[in-house]
Structure 1
Amino acid sequence: MIQGTGSNVGKSTLVAGLCRAFARRGLAVRPFKPQNMSNNAAATADGGEIGRAQAVQARAAGVQPSVHMNPVLLKPETDTGAQVIVQGKRRGTLRARDYGSRKAELMPAVLDSFARVSAGADLVLVEGAGSPAEINLRAGDIANMGFAQAADVPVVLAGDIDRGGVIASLVGTHAVLEPNERERVKAFIVNKFRGEAQLFAEGEKAIVEHTGWPSLGILPWLPQAAWLPAEDALDLDRKGGRDGAAGRWKIAVPIVSRIANFDDLDPLGMEPEVELILVPPGDPLPGDADLVILPGSKATVGDLAFFRAQGWDVDLLAHRRRGGAVLGLCGGYQMLGRTISDPDGVEGRPGTVDGLGLLDVATVLTGDKITAPAAGIHLSTDTGITGYEIHLGRTEGPDCARPLLKLAGGRLDGATSPDGRVAGCYVHGLFGSDPFRRAYLAGFGAASRLAYEAQVETALDALADHVEAHLDLDRMLAIARAR
């Protein structure tokens, strides 16, 4: 089990690299994360959803993602509450304080999923969540040491040197763990090092002396890691490194408070001729954007109010008057309509709110959730698309007579304005389809030279090469086999 000294220390990326590295050695490898908190989800073939990071890790291991690879997924809807997904299915919404008192009830489902994932595997790589040093959350823990103890899994602890204080974070974690938990940690990794690793030799030695844990190595910073879909919305800052490139075609994306499935943007951010601008709260939408994309949202009604509070509704109307194009994805599609109704209080207080009115459609939020892979045709370019659906709600109206997509089985999805400048649909992942993305960008005069899926594979291979070169994987494997 790879645990971390904190959130965002690189656990997800590290596990993905290890999955690919050990799979290349001929092992049957499976990823597993007992509890995840993320609005960046993936639909699985078995009809559920898991964290996007576990889907990437499954890809790295060369296997199909399963709901059992991430049995508990928390999808934040507010600052104090989240939708709870158990073994791929929506269980309901809980406030944080209520979840804290009930999370231990989910351990049987977690252990059941772990047994299913482990069956037939040579190696299961488990990713922790947050940090085991959060001892205030230790009661009923299913994400870190609570799971490791229940499943009898050895732990490797990763620290992030890029954020500073890695000696204190590793030694401090050792200090607050219980004695039996310290014994469960078999080694540590220093992650995200920039510069010459030998310069940290004394620091590495100090960690060993203070903890008694051996080091598996110092892992340098790897720029290609930014090519992989991120798990946390905090990683949108990471994508800023690709933003600002002087592309011929400018896309603006307002970052709403509960943005979901934001890896929809990844292929666009990698395109040389595209300048992807992620607009933070408080900043206006740029007046010279060619396209504004309204991304997915975990709380559509709340994020629509947030959108208006930034003045983005005024900016979007001005963009539209200038002849700019608008695309809404899932929750963003719902926002573009005339109204959003929530009669059953799925997202909060029952009622109806006005949408942005750029599409002549109306949405009714329902309790039935659609979670499934998707494939079909983008009708205006006649190019194939693949992706997935994860959404609540039904959208209907006159503009649906001009659907954006025709999906497998003949089902139509989405809507388009009469002049073709505003469109939306429920399918995520559209821009990962190279033929569609090339045709779509060509319609705006931008050439696409990116082979996105090949780029992801290149990144996974580079990551595997990286961990092979800098970490003691033989020792890690020995730790796992000694379980």
Structure 2
Amino acid sequence: MAALMLQGTGSDVGKSVLVAGLCRAFANRDLSVRPFKPQNMSNNAAVTADGGEIGRAQATQAIACRVEPSVDMNPVLLKPQGDRTSQLIVRGQVRGTLAAARWREGREGLLVDVLDSFERLSASCDLVVVEGAGSPAEVNLRVSDIANMGFARAANVPVILVGDIDRGGVIASIVGTRAVIDAADAAMIHGFLVNKFRGDPVLFDDGYRAIEARSGWRGYGVVPWLADAARLPSEDAVILERRSASVDRRVTIACPITPRIANFDDLDPLRLEPGVALVMVPPGTPIPEADMIVLAGSKATIPDLAFLRAQGWDIDILAHHRRGKPVLGLCGGFQMLGRSIADPHGIEGAATTIAGLGLLDIDTVLAPTKTLERIEGIAKGARFEGYEMHMGATTGADLNRPVGHRSDGSAEGATSADGLVHGSYVHGLFGLAEQRAAWLARLGVDAVGPDHAASIDAALDAIAATLERHLDLDAMLDLAQRAG
């Protein structure tokens, strides 16, 4: 078995992108590679071929390896539903809801699931590239850890520590990590790399040597700022405001950012279109004049709808509709557009029924069973590919005017009587260029971008090529062969 783990000095240091780039770089060397993340926390997820779900980053990393995503690539996934509760997904399936206060005791038994998945994955390939979560320097979380050193030591996987120079303090963050973790954990770290460097890396030579001298770890390289990383799906909603396009384009599509927004990468393909300005609307800001409003998915539909109303966004959406402009709801956003949402089982909190926005003649009842299914079909005269991932069922008259039909002939989605409001359960609806073109044609824009999958693949190749130039991949591969 060969395996290598990247851990970070903190969150958002670029571990997911680096793992994806390494997976593609080693796959380009004709190695059979698999990604692995023991524990992930994200509301952006993907459906695997065997009907499970994993973090979006691991699905992207599987693409980098040129293999199908598997539930073993991310055996534990936490999907936050509120500030203190998360849905627990183990090997692709819901295992219940976990309160933050119970997480330490709740994760103790999960290491067995993690190691089982890792062993199955390792047996199927030449190399596993593992991604940690957060940072090993969070020593308050070390007891029963399964995401970083708890996993690395249990599986005997060598670690390289990633520091982010763009946020500043990279010398202190790497050397400081060495200072606060215990000796046995520090022994698992064999080196470091510096990520997100802008400018000539030679300018950091003195800092690089200072880290080596003070930490006792060798450096594996300095990675320049990877502009192509912006073309990869993101798991973290904190970047949404930073990724809004300027509004000096032909049409504007606006999407409000709710606290539990999920699978917002559904909108990423719109960024491929030079004629479209995608505006992610932060809390405290009214929805601007737009050609179309999209309500994205949600991990907690009822609380997010209440938040939407508290922001006054419901008024903006209804005014937009009165002006004769289209509205599209995806998954949770689809449910919000209906007459009511009922939660009789208390899945999202206390059992309740609330009024929806009333723009679609539909009603939704949330249920414990989750639909996880890859689908394809025809909508608006063009092909689509994607997946469903939702809890509950939707009924109502507007389902008789579907958005499209699945390949098995069944109807998908709903359309209002005036033709302005659409709802769909298809995640990835805009991924194929021809489907995206069908929607944008209604707004008077010609779609010119590629299929989203092709854009992701090209970005992965570009990132891999950069890592080949700037990292000592041969030494990293030698280190990986010490695992087990």
TM-score range, shorter chain: over 0.9
**Separation (CA, whole Å) in 1 of partners of 2:172 and 2:312:** 43
**CA contact 1:245–1:272 (8 Å) conserved in 2:** no
Q: Within 1, Cα distance between the matches of 2:385 and 2:420?
A: 22
Tell me how far 1:129 sits from its aligned partner: 0.2
Q: Which amino acid aligns with 2:155?
A: A
Q: Is the contact between residue 159 and residue 166 of structure 1 (CA under 8 Å) also seen in structure 2?
A: yes
Partner of 2:264: 262
In structure 1, the partner of 2:298 is 297
CA distance in 2, matches of 1:75, 1:263: 16
> Aligned equivalents of 1:20 and 1:229: distance in 2?
16
Work out whether 1:89 is the aligned partner of 2:93.
yes
Match of 1:209 in 2: 213
Can you list the C-alpha shifts for 1:46-83, whole angstroms capped at 9, x where unaligned? 11000000000000001100001000000000011100
The answer (yes or no) to whether the contact 2:241–2:282 under 8 Å persists in 1 is no
TM-score (normalised: structure 2): 0.98
Which stretches of structure 1, 4 residues or more, deviate above 3 A after TM superposition?
none
Q: Which structure 1 residue ranges, 5 or more long, are not aligned?
A: none
Q: How much has 1:245 moved relative to structure 2?
A: 5.0
Q: Does 1:179 align with 2:179?
A: no
| 1:273 to 2:275 alignment | yes
The letter of the residue matching 1:278 is M
Query: Over residues 232-285 of structure 1, what are the superposed CA-to-partner deviations in whole Å (9 max), with x where a residue is unaligned?
Result: 112324423xx1152211100000110000100101122100011110001001
State the AA in 2 paired with 1:401.
Answer: N
Kept in 1: contact 2:98–2:106 (CA 8 A): no
SS at match of 1:410: coil
Matching residue of 2:353: 352
Asked whether the 8 Å contact 1:204–1:215 carries over to 2, the reply is yes
Residue 477 of structure 1, CA deviation = 0.2
SS of alignment partner, residue 174 of structure 2: helix
CA distance in 1, matches of 2:439, 2:261: 23
Q: Which residue of the partner structure matches residue 282 of structure 1?
A: 284
Aligned equivalents of 1:2, 1:238: Cα separation in 2 = 25
Whole-angstrom distance in 1 between the partners of 2:124 and 2:279: 45
User: 1:413-466: CA deviations, max 9, x gaps?
Assistant: 211001110010111001011111012111211011100322111100000001
Which SS does the other structure have where 2:393 is aligned? strand
Distance 2:432 2:118 in 1: 32
Equivalent position SS for 2:207: helix
8 Å contact kept, 1:360–1:417: yes
Q: Determine the C-alpha separation between the residues in 1 that align with 2:239 and 2:88.
A: 22
Quick one: distance in 2 between partners of 1:224 and 1:317? 37
Q: Say if 1:292 and 1:327, in contact at 8 Å, map to a contact too.
A: yes
Secondary structure of 2:408's aligned partner = helix
Task: Choose which of 66, 70, 73 in structure 2 pairs with 1:66.
Answer: 70
Residue 417 in 1 paired to residue 421 in 2?
Answer: no
CA distance in 2, matches of 1:64, 1:187: 31
C-alpha RMSD over aligned residues: 0.8
Q: Which runs of 5+ in 2 are unaligned?
A: none
Q: Aligned partners of 1:249, 1:318: CA distance in 2, in Å?
A: 18
Matches within 5 A, 1:46-195: 46-195=50-199
Residues of 2 paired with 1:355 and 1:448: CA distance?
32
> How many residues of Structure 1 are paired with residues of Structure 2 in the alignment?
478
1:443: which partner in 2? Answer: 442
Deviates more, 1:245-254 or 1:340-349: 245-254
Q: TM-score, normalising length from structure 1?
A: 0.98
What corresponds to 2:23 in structure 1?
A: 19
Q: Give the match for residue 457 of structure 1.
A: 457
Aligned mates of 1:408, 1:105 — CA distance in 2:
41
